[in-house]
A and B are shown apart, each in its own frame.
Chain A
C-alpha cells in the first residue's frame, strides 16, 4: 500500500534531517502528486528547516534525498527546496519529474534560485544524466 510506504518515508526523512542537524525538524506532510501538465513527484512539507541548513549540509542531504526518490520509484532528476519568498524559511522539499513543457523553464535558468521561492539542489539536464546542475 503506497500510503504505508509514505508514512515510513515521512518518518525516515524527518529522522535523517534531525540526525544531520542535531535538533528538531518536522515533516508535517509527505505527498505524492501528479499535475495536469505531466509533472509528478513527491513533496515533503517541512517545518524547522532554514536555507542555511541546506547550504551547510547540501551534499549529505542530497545523497539521502536521492535514495529517498529511488525508494519511492521516482527518478531523482530534479530536487529543490521551496522557500518562503524573501526569507530563509524552507517550506518544503520537492522531488519533481518534469514534463517536457515544464523542463525548459528550469533547464534554461541559471543559478540555484531561478525564482525567489525555489532553491535548486539538484537538476539533471537531459542528455547529461548523473551530472550536477551547473
Chain B
C-alpha cells in the first residue's frame, strides 16, 4: 500500500507554495496550527493563519492534490471549552474551518474528538498528546468517533502493543516518526500543558523560562543515550511498520521550509546519509553538538523490534551510544572536528 506522508507546514502561504512545488507529489497532507485565539496547540506558533488564510491555502492545496489538516491539540484548555461561552466560540471556529474545506482536525481533548465527529464533515484525528499507548485507549477514542489516531511514540518500539492497537480499531493509525522526545518523558504532560496555555487563548502566562525544555536539554547533554533510546523511527526503518500502518507524520512545524523538505526527501526515499539530528524535530539545539551518523544505526531496529525496554537489564542503547555518537569540538572555528562522545574527557584534555 502506498505510503501517506503528513508534512508540517509553518502556516504562511509562501511556505505552502514552496512545499508543494518542491515535494507536492510526495505529500499526502500538510498540517499547520490554527489561530491560538480559540484553541492552543502543543507547539509554539510561528504564524497563526486566520480563517481567510486557511481558506485560501486549503483551496490551493486541494488544487494540487494535497489534503489539509489543522492542529488544535491543546492538552489543557482550563475547562474553558466546557463553559457556554467557550463552547460557542470553539464551535464557531470549527464551523469556519469546516467551511474552508479543511479535511482533518487534530485534537487532544476527548470532548473535541466527539464534537468534531458529531457536528462536522471534517474528520477528527486523535493527537499524539492524547497519549494513545494501549488498545484500550485506542478503542475508547475510536468509539468517540476518531477517524485517525496518532499513536504515542513511547510505544514505537513495542511492536506487540502496536499490533494490539492495530487489531483493536478499524480507523487509521499514524506514526509520528521524528519527534525525538525523551522515552517515558517525565516532563511530557506538564510541558505540553504549559505550551497549551503559553501559546493558546488569552490570558497567556508571562513565563521567564521554559524549565522543561532546559532540563530536557541538560539531561541529553549529560547522557546522549537519551537521544538513542528516544522512540524516533529512521527513514530506513519505516517499512518495518508496514503491518501497523502506511501513514507517517513528520513533526516540525516550527522549522524552516528547507529543513522540512530535507525530512520529506529522507522519508520519501526511506534513506538518509547524514546526521540523524538533522531529522529530529526536537531537540534541535543539539544538532550542533552531536553527530550521529544515521547509517551507523542500520539494523538497530532488529534489536528494538524485540526489545523488552527494561533498559537497566539491557545495555544495547548504551553500547550503541558509545559507538555511534560523536560530538563537535571547536564548533564554528577553524579547528572544528568530531570526537567520539565516549572519549570526551581524554580528548578535551589533550586539545585544551
A residues with CB within 8 A of B:
7-8, 10-11, 14-16, 18-19, 22-26, 28, 47-50, 84-87, 89, 91, 117
Is B299 interfacial (CB 8 A cutoff)?
no
Give every chain B residue within 8 A of A85 (Cβ-Cβ). Answer: 208-209
Q: Please tell me which stretch of B70-78, B86-94, B162-170, B216-224 contacts chain A, meaning at least 4 of its Cβ atoms lie within 8 angstroms of it.
A: B216-224
CA distance A24 to B348 in the complex (A): 10
Q: Chain A contacts of B336 at CB under 8 A? A: 11
User: A24-B344, A26-B286 in contact; A89/B214 too (CB < 8 A)?
Assistant: yes
Q: Which residues of A contact B344 (CB under 8 A)?
A: 18, 22-24
> Which residue on B lies nearest to A89, using beta carbons?
B214
Chain A's closest residue to B346 (CB) is A22
Q: When the two chains form their complex, are residues A26 and B348 in contact, meaning their CB atoms are under 8 A apart?
A: no
Q: B203 within 8 Å of A by Cβ?
A: no
Contact of B222 among A16, A23, A28, A84 (CB under 8 A): A23
Is B221 a contact partner of A15 (Cβ separation < 8 A)?
A: no
Please judge, given known A-B contacts A47-B217, A84-B214, whether A26 and B289 are in contact too, CB under 8 Å: yes
Instruction: Decide if B333 touches A8 in the complex (CB within 8 Å).
Output: yes
Cβ A24 vs Cβ B211 within 8 A: no
Interface contact B208-A117, CB-CB below 8 Å: yes
Contacts beyond the supplied A10-B332, A18-B348, A22-B345: 12 A-B pairs with Cβ under 8 Å: A15-B352, A18-B329, A19-B348, A19-B349, A24-B327, A24-B344, A26-B285, A26-B288, A47-B214, A84-B215, A85-B209, A86-B211
Contact between chains at A84 and B348 (CB < 8 Å): no
Contact of A15 among B218, B285, B330 (CB under 8 A): B330
What are 14 inter-chain pairs, A to B, with CB distance below 8 A?
Answer: A7-B332, A11-B330, A18-B344, A19-B348, A22-B344, A22-B345, A24-B221, A24-B344, A26-B286, A47-B217, A85-B208, A86-B211, A89-B211, A91-B209
Q: Which residues of B contact A24 (CB under 8 A)?
A: 221-222, 224, 289, 327, 341, 344
- Contact status A15-B351, CB under 8 Å: yes
| Interface of B, helix, strand, loop or mixed by DSSP | helix
In the complex, are the beta carbons of B352 and A19 less than 8 A apart? yes
Q: Which residues of A contact B285 (CB under 8 A)?
A: 26, 28, 47
* A25 and B351 form a contact (CB under 8 A): no
Residues of chain B with a CB closer than 8 A to A10's CB: 331-332
Is B330 in contact with A89, judged by CB distance below 8 angstroms? Answer: no
Give complex CA distance A28, B169 in Å. 45
Residues of B within 8 A of A49 (CB): 218
Say yes or no: A48-B222 contact (C-beta < 8 A), given A15-B330, A15-B348, A19-B352. Answer: yes
Q: How far is the CA of A19 from the CA of B218 in the complex (A)?
A: 17
| Min C-beta distance of A90 to chain B, whole Å | 9
What CA separation (Å) do A8 and B327 show in the bound complex? 17
> In the complex, which residues of chain B have a beta carbon less than 8 angstroms from the beta carbon of A28?
285, 288
10 A-B pairs with least C-beta separation: A48-B221, A22-B345, A18-B348, A19-B348, A19-B352, A7-B332, A47-B217, A11-B333, A26-B289, A89-B214
Q: Nearest Cβ in chain B — how far from A83, in angstroms? A: 9
